[in-house]
Amino acid sequence: MPQMAPINWLFLFILFSVIFLLFNVMNYYSILPSSPKSLSTKSFKTNSLNWKW
Task: Read off the pLDDT of residues 1-53 as tens digits, 9 standing for 90 and up.
Answer: 466 677 888 899 999 999 999 999 999 988 877 876 655 555 566 677 777 76
**According to the model, what pLDDT value does residue 1 have?**
45
Q: What would the DSSP string read from start to end of 1-53?
A: -PPPPHHHHHHHHHHHHHHHHHHHHHHHHS--PPPPPHHHHT-PPPPP-----
pTM above 0.75, yes or no: no
CA distance linking residue 19 with residue 26, whole number of Å: 10
